Structure formats: C-alpha cells, structure tokens
Structure 1
Amino acid sequence: MNLNVRTATAADVGPLLSLIGSAYRGEESRKGWTTEADLLTGDRIDEAGLLAKIAEPDGVMLLVTDGDDAAASSGSGGALVACCELLRRSHGLGYFGLFAVEPRRQGGGLGKRVLRIAESYAREMLGMERLEMQVIWTRAELIAWYVRRGYVRTGEKRPFPYEQLVSGARALRDDLYFEILEKDLVGSEEAISVVR
C-alpha cells in the first residue's frame, strides 16, 4: 500500500476527529487493538483541542492517507488511515502522541510504517534527536509494541489528566497514570529516510 503524508490543516478537523474517536473510544475502536474503551468513555479530544494542535507553532499533526485508494488518483488524496502529533520540546527532545490508525487496518504493519515515517519526519524536518511518548500504564500490549520498535521505558510516571477530559468523557478507573517511553532517533538502526 502506498501512503501519502502531509501536515493537517483546520479543514481536516472533522475527518481527524472521526479517525481518532474510532481508534480509541466506543464500539468501533474494539475492531482494532488500540482501544481505550475499557478505560475511558467519550471523546479523546475535541475540536478546539485538535485545532490547537494543528496550529501549534512548535509542532505538526501528520495526516496519512492510503495512496492506493481510487480517490488518490482522482486528486482528492485517498482514504484517511492514520495520524499523529509531533511536538518540539527542548534540547533535541520531541513528543510523539495522538497516534491513531483506522481500526480495521490495525495489525497488518500499517502502524509500524506510520511510526517510522513520523520518526523520520521528526528527525529530518523538525531536528528532533529523541522522541518521548506517554502510554497509560495498563496498556501492556501497546507498551511492548513500542519497546519492539526501539522505545525504552524511562521509569518516569506522569499523572493522568482526569480534570482535562473533554466533552463529558469520563474515566472508568481511578488508578490511571502514564508511563514515559523514549527513543534515540540519531543512533537508531532504523534511521532510514522515509520523508519525501
């Protein structure tokens, strides 16, 4: 499958909200393996939050479409299949988050490809030397997936933002927190240029 990657704009908010919602919350998310439906209800992010990420001067939202889709050849860009956020922090450190892959396309290697594209973009376009992410501690399978991709558990834990849940979302557990993972992008064996 060919993939097209570009930075998201305000015009992409609707489709991005649908993709993110389907990948993380509700019944649709259960078709994939990244669901948070047993941990949280409601929206993961709202329109205002997504627009803020798109407009962030120190970051980008990457939007990935299926280049094999008939729509791609007609000029409309193809079906939206994945997205992620990259945010510049300090001293070469960047943040990777809001990673969503369309649930029916999970488990076939698409997420791994998009992650590599994001890492390459972070290094080549944004000058990041390391990427960090935060994953809810109960997501052992997801943490293991990132570890297999070269991320290491730092031992750092961050509180879960219960007070910042949006649009009536609520947590189904009161013991959530984030584990922090990090990857060196400069010394990575996978430092292959995939950004065009």
Structure 2
Amino acid sequence: MPGNLHFSNSSDSDIPELVKLVNSAYRGETSKKGWTTEADLLDGIRTDEDGIYKMLHQPGSVILKCMVGNKLAGCVYLQKQADFLYLGMLTVSPELQASGIGKELLKVSEEYARKEGCHSIKMTVITVRSELIRWYERRGYFQTEERQPFPNDSRFGIPRQPLEFLVMEKKLR
C-alpha cells in the first residue's frame, strides 16, 4: 500500500478532480487498467460535475477523499439514512488499484458510520459484477434479497445489457 494516505472531506473545489478520478476508474480505456471497470457493461460517463455537486450537497452526505501525497488516489460517497449509512462510488485510481487503498476507504467509512450512530452500511452493486461482490463479501458485506432497477438515465451510463443492482449490507458492532 502506498504510504502517507490522508483522508478528508471533499469540497466544491474538489469536484473537477473527483469527476476525472471516478470516470477514469469506471469507464473508458483508462478504467481497463484496473479491475473495477464497468466499460464492458456501460457506455458513457459514470458521473459529471453536476452529479458530484448534488451528492456533496445532499443532506447527511459527504464524499471522503484519499490523498497520496498531493495526488487524489480514491474517494467514497457516504450518506446517513435513518440508522444505516449508504456507501457508494467507492473509487480508487486505476494505477493504484489492488494496493490496499480500497480496503482503507472501507475502514474509514465504517469508522465514520459508527461515529454517526449507524448500525450498518448498505450499498448497491451491479448484479453481474461477481468479482466485486466477492471482494465486498471478503470484507464482511453480505448479499441481501433486495434488488433495485438500474437507473434509466444516460447521466449514469448507457447499459449494453439489462442491469440491476444487488443491495449488500454489513452490520457494525
């Protein structure tokens, strides 16, 4: 794992860099350098500046960023909902994937959830992403019976096949 990781809350000034990071990790040719790519499932971009702005300004929300030195290495979206924390957009730069940054982002997210008084963390994962689902399972998340439709909105990408989300959850002690 790269040394000197620093985690902090994102602000509006981080939006352009967050958009670049998230899109590079999920879509297009650069995303294929890492294992979290959705480029074979979806066309288009993963997010835009307006989308990140809305996430940052959602009540109870934060986007935690992970810096390695002065470089944005990863981020995660967290939103408190009732007694659980929703976790989304867990992102690590394709060049730094498989270095432990994703695990650290999850650890920091779980600490954040506990401080917020949450009893669990929930997330959605595209059901056909079996490798990613297994990665989360190895970190204590389990598949629930709940499924959600993939948004019919090109701002989230254009599916190349029918897609749906699986809701995963981790109980916190």
Relative to the length of structure 1, the TM-score reads: 0.84
Shift of 1:144: 0.2
Equivalents in 1 of 2:118, 2:49: separation in Å?
Answer: 27
User: 3-state DSSP class of the match of 2:7?
Assistant: strand
Give yes or no for contact 2:84–2:113 (8 Å, CA) kept in 1.
Answer: no
User: 3-state DSSP class of the match of 2:155?
Assistant: coil
User: 3-state DSSP class of the match of 1:43?
Assistant: coil
Shift of 1:2: 1.9
Deviations 1:31-66 (A, max 9, x none): 000000000111111211110111122111111101
Equivalents in 2 of 1:80, 1:105: separation in Å?
Answer: 11
User: 3-state DSSP class of the match of 1:166?
Assistant: helix
Larger Rg: 1
Q: Which runs of 5+ in 1 are unaligned?
A: 70-77, 188-196
Give yes or no for contact 2:121–2:170 (8 Å, CA) kept in 1.
Answer: yes
User: 3-state DSSP class of the match of 1:52?
Assistant: helix
Shift of 1:160: 0.7
Shift of 1:86: 0.5
- Equivalent residue number for residue 83 of structure 1: 75
Equivalents in 2 of 1:129, 1:59: separation in Å?
Answer: 17
Deviations 1:109-142 (A, max 9, x none): 2211111111111212x22221000000010000
C-alpha RMSD of the superposition: 1.2
- Equivalent residue number for residue 30 of structure 2: 28
Structure 1 residue corresponding to 2:49, chosen from 40, 47, 50: 47
Give yes or no for contact 1:95–1:133 (8 Å, CA) kept in 2.
Answer: yes
Give yes or no for contact 1:93–1:132 (8 Å, CA) kept in 2.
Answer: yes
Bigger mean CA offset, 47-56 vs 24-33: 47-56
Q: Kindly provide the amino acid, as one letter, of the partner of residue 75 in structure 2.
A: C
Equivalents in 1 of 2:63, 2:38: separation in Å?
Answer: 21
Structure 2 residue corresponding to 1:147, chosen from 137, 141, 146: 137
Q: List, as ranges, runs of 4+ consecutive aligned residues in structure 1 with deviation greater than 4 Å.
A: none
User: 3-state DSSP class of the match of 1:108?
Assistant: coil
Shift of 1:165: 2.4
Relative to the length of structure 2, the TM-score reads: 0.95
Q: How many equivalent pairs are there?
A: 171
Give yes or no for contact 1:44–1:165 (8 Å, CA) kept in 2.
Answer: no
Equivalents in 2 of 1:127, 1:79: separation in Å?
Answer: 31
In the alignment, structure 1 residue 170 sits paired with structure 2 residue 161? no
Equivalents in 2 of 1:63, 1:108: separation in Å?
Answer: 16
In the alignment, structure 1 residue 180 sits paired with structure 2 residue 167? yes
- Equivalent residue number for residue 124 of structure 2: 134
The alignment-based identity, stated in percent, is: 41
In the alignment, structure 1 residue 37 sits paired with structure 2 residue 39? yes
Give yes or no for contact 1:28–1:103 (8 Å, CA) kept in 2.
Answer: yes
Structure 2 residue corresponding to 1:118, chosen from 109, 113, 127: 109
